[in-house]
Structure 1
Amino acid sequence: MNKFKLTLSLFLIGFLGLAQETQLTLKEAIDYALQNKSDAVKARLEVENSKYQIQEVRANALPQINIVGDITNNPLLQKMAVPEEFGGGMMAFGKEWQSTATASLSQQLFNQAVFTGLKAAKTTREFYKINAQLTEEQVIEKVANSYYEVYKTKSQLKTLDKTIENTTRVRDVIANLYNTGLAKKIDLDRTTVSLNNIKSNRQQLVNALVLQENALKYLIGMDINTSISFPENTFEVSKTAFVDNYSDTSVRTEIQLLEKQGELLALNKKAIRAQGYPSLSLEANFGYLGVGDQFPWFSKPIDGTYWTGFSSVGLKLVVPVFNGGSVRAKTRQAQIDIEKLEADKKDTQLAMDLAMHNAETQINNSMITLNTQKENVNLAKEVLSDIENNYKNGLASLTDLLDAETSYADAQNSYTNALLDYKLAEIQLIKAQGELKKLIQE
């Protein structure tokens, strides 16, 4: 029995540990996504990988040293004609075995393509850093939108719970009146039907909430089985409303990324041109050559094997003279890419300006709508309270009461939707200002 109790206690402790909820603020959800979502992780890995790309390009400007060893067997030596003054006829030259061991060094002294490639590699690292920043901003935007969608559904669920509570209270009042003969059975039945419909709508919202929470967990890279909760103050209006001042969109990460891409295309054009420039390199070799009638390794002159050293040092100059015009054609293609990017940059700048103006307009309109819906909620609540009193005193019909309850619930849902529209417009405005990372600092 004691073992059973101990086992049951451990099971309950483990179950309670699994059932603990993880409370997520917007900042915590974004931080979690930036650390765990694959897009953000891969963007950081691209930045790290660019360091190795620089090392790869830099290696082309450093000395290249190679050691090569080989051994050759010549079972049939080639014969050559001997002049008549030396006896004439054919004579074999060389030895059956030959082996060489050579160390070679090559150092680029001037190669414009290599030097330009090094600059391009460093610029590529900067490009990946900006791209990682853009990826983080995209993750922040997606997480914030999904987070507020979940919170909207939770708010609507609370509204339905209040509506169910109110309708249940009204039904109980009608049931008491019916039992005392002061109300009709049809009124009680209509109220019960209305309550059942509200409960059915609530179940649909619960199902939608589960799907939205799972989508949010996937979006931030969290285990689907993790239970999450939200703080009460998430859905509040901030001080961002009624923005009239224009912000400079040139600081947007999208523009910075295009500018850095333009630098890469310019360097690519220089690298292509460099293919037509002369190159100068230092070449050096040092090695040993062994020949003999038997396997030369570990053999001595007494065995018929002879070893000799050799070396060479020189400069190698390569001057491209004619390549069929391929360099010129590639250079013009590179220039076309630069001009296309400039067109993309202008179009993106226009899109950024449009997004800024639209975001400012949308958030101001959303605030006006939000205030209107808030007043509607207060009015609908007063109307419901008055009609409830009138119904109890026989001055209002059940239809009026049910309509007032529906209007109150609709007003609350409209306010929740207006609040969501405001928060989504707020995200778009912060994005247009290039300050999405402020959401992490809140």
Structure 2
Amino acid sequence: MNSKIKNCIQLNPWITIPNLFVSIVTFLVLSTSAKAQQQTLSIEDAIAISLANNYDILLSRNDSSLAALDYSYSVYAFAPRLNATGGMIYNIVDNKRVLANGTKRDGNNIKSSNLTASVSLNWTLFDGLKMFATRKKLGEFMELGELQIKNQVVTSVAEVMRTYYDIVRQQQQLKAIEEQMDLINERLKLAQYKLDIGTGAKPDMLQAQIDLNAQRSAHMTQQTNILKLKEQLNQLLAVSVNTNYSVIDSIPINATLSLDAIQSGVTSVNPQLLITQKNLDIAQLTLKEKKADRFPVISFNSAYNFNRNDNKSVVDPYQPLFNQNRGFNYGLAATIPLFNGMNTRRLIKSAELDIKYQELLYKRDLAQITSSIANAYKDYDLHKRTLQLEEDNIKLVRENLFIARERYRLGVSTFLEMREAQRSLEDANNRLIGARYNTKVAEIELMRLRGDLVQ
């Protein structure tokens, strides 16, 4: 992979592009200017811009950031809980008492205040090792988020590459149409010349003009197709739809891929398989959490309490005017689960079923990916051999066209022979361009299935 792309991929779980920031901004500024000279967008720069801007990648990155945030605070699950409370109450009351001996005691506008404060500590010492399983589970969720980013990156990069090389294909198709227009225009001039000197027929000249008009129509359609594909690529890059640029004029092919190399170690590279395996690991940790609910929870508790009661006056002579208490306490507490309606057992059974479900998902995904790789490689091998055949064939077609043009110019062949040779070149170009693009698409699909589009 190009070094620019490697520099912009950071699966931790953030993706940054520090080395490309200036170049990308410059590219976008120049591209949005209608009068600026059209810039060439390489496939590496297209991928880098997509990694920085693609909305699907940004959404996956946000989810992964939340998981990473949860894990960064998970260490505090082992720390004690410390809480402080306090309060101040003022009382103004009127009091009237009649004692058993008939004595009456009245008090009006009696003022008092009560101040309370406490600091309490609760520290879970043992909960069936649930806190350890929970912390490890949060770590697995963080790694799952990173894998989901990579999976989305692989998917987005593959889509960007397919669209980018489709633009290249359509531009090659446009050049092939322009070549046909030149050939037909030459044929039209020859037909007109022969008609003028009395050795040709008008239908030959008219047919050449009809063929030229058809190619002109195809040329306009092709230009529109290229613009539409560029708009699709702009959407994938998350840039303005008016951004304009040129692309490279060739489609590089890696003809060295082998089925054994693609299949080797795919279980440790393919993002989808890694995600399924990570979900299985999370399900197993969930089972440990549920089993921990069978054990007692032992905690250490401690508190410091302060209480002060201040009465300005009292009705009862035995009631204190001022009372203050403060003290420290500590001890152990145990919560022993005895019966909760078999809910713990139900949750354990549910977690066990989820593990079996995740195992089946992994086996299914492994079978599907293995089959997809085998089929994709068959397509790759077919298109690669077809490409080689068409590259050899185009040489024969061009040689045949050269001979037909010279024979027609010398008057030893017919107009139809010349037209048929040109149509053979058109068909051969279409097949060659299609074979080259199909080979590249099959190559991209193989690398996507393996997960090697990004490292």
* TM-score bracket for this pair, using the shorter chain length: 0.7 to 0.9
Aligned to 1:290: 308
Aligned to 1:4: none
1:167 lines up with 2:148 in the alignment: no
Which residue type is aligned with residue 307 of structure 2? Answer: L
1:275 lines up with 2:293 in the alignment: yes
Stretch moving more, 254-263 or 238-247 = 238-247
Aligned to 2:54: 37
Aligned to 1:54: 71
For 1:62 and 1:318, how far apart are their aligned partners in 2?
A: 19
Aligned to 1:23: 40
1:100 lines up with 2:116 in the alignment: yes
Aligned to 1:298: none
Of 230, 242, 252 in structure 2, the residue corresponding to residue 236 of structure 1 is 252
CA distance 1:380–1:289, shift in 2 (3 Å)? same
CA distance 1:291–1:354, shift in 2 (3 Å)? same
Aligned ranges for residues 28-427 of structure 1 at < 5 Å?
A: 28-72=45-89, 97-111=113-127, 112-232=129-249, 234-240=250-256, 243=259, 246-251=263-268, 252-293=270-311, 306-427=323-444
How far is 1:159 from its partner? Answer: 0.5
Number of aligned residues: 414
For 1:340 and 1:14, how far apart are their aligned partners in 2?
A: 50
Q: CA RMSD in A?
A: 3.1
How far is 1:80 from its partner? Answer: 11
Question: Alpha-carbon deviations, 1:317-336, whole Å to 9, x = none?
Answer: 11111111001001101111
SS at structure 2 position matched to 1:431: helix
CA distance 1:311–1:169, shift in 2 (3 Å)? same
Aligned to 1:435: 452
Q: Is the 8 A contact 2:31 2:245 kept in 1?
A: no
For 1:312 and 1:383, how far apart are their aligned partners in 2?
A: 103
What is the percentage of aligned positions where both structures have the same residue?
Answer: 21
SS at structure 1 position matched to 2:242: coil
SS at structure 1 position matched to 2:298: strand
How far is 1:76 from its partner? Answer: 7.0
Aligned to 1:299: none
Unaligned runs of 5+ in 2: 1-29, 313-319
CA distance 1:293–1:400, shift in 2 (3 Å)? farther
Which residue type is aligned with residue 286 of structure 1? Answer: Y
Aligned to 1:300: none
Stretch moving more, 400-409 or 238-247 = 238-247
Question: Alpha-carbon deviations, 1:240-269, whole Å to 9, x = none?
Answer: 256566523222222222212111111111
For 1:217 and 1:16, how far apart are their aligned partners in 2?
A: 15
Unaligned runs of 5+ in 1: 1-12, 295-302
SS at structure 2 position matched to 1:27: helix
SS at structure 2 position matched to 1:239: coil
Q: Is the 8 A contact 1:108 1:280 kept in 2?
A: yes
Q: Is the 8 A contact 1:51 1:125 kept in 2?
A: yes
Question: Alpha-carbon deviations, 1:111-160, whole Å to 9, x = none?
Answer: 23222211111122122222222222112211111122111111101111
Q: Normalising to structure 1: TM-score of the pair?
A: 0.84
CA distance 1:183–1:283, shift in 2 (3 Å)? same
Stretch moving more, 305-314 or 258-267 = 305-314
CA distance 1:198–1:74, shift in 2 (3 Å)? same
How far is 1:67 from its partner? Answer: 1.8
Q: Is the 8 A contact 2:31 2:243 kept in 1?
A: no
How far is 1:89 from its partner? Answer: 11
SS at structure 1 position matched to 2:256: coil
CA distance 1:115–1:241, shift in 2 (3 Å)? closer
For 1:387 and 1:204, how far apart are their aligned partners in 2?
A: 29
For 1:80 and 1:49, how far apart are their aligned partners in 2?
A: 64
CA distance 1:195–1:275, shift in 2 (3 Å)? same
Which residue type is aligned with residue 224 of structure 2? Answer: N
How far is 1:72 from its partner? Answer: 4.1
How far is 1:220 from its partner? Answer: 2.3
For 1:55 and 1:178, how far apart are their aligned partners in 2?
A: 86
Question: Alpha-carbon deviations, 1:66-98, whole Å to 9, x = none?
Answer: 22222446677999999x7x9999999x98643
Q: Is the 8 A contact 1:100 1:290 kept in 2?
A: yes
Q: Is the 8 A contact 2:144 2:278 kept in 1?
A: yes
Q: Is the 8 A contact 2:259 2:374 kept in 1?
A: no
Question: Alpha-carbon deviations, 1:33-70, whole Å to 9, x = none?
Answer: 11221222333333333232023433332122222222
Q: Is the 8 A contact 2:124 2:299 kept in 1?
A: yes
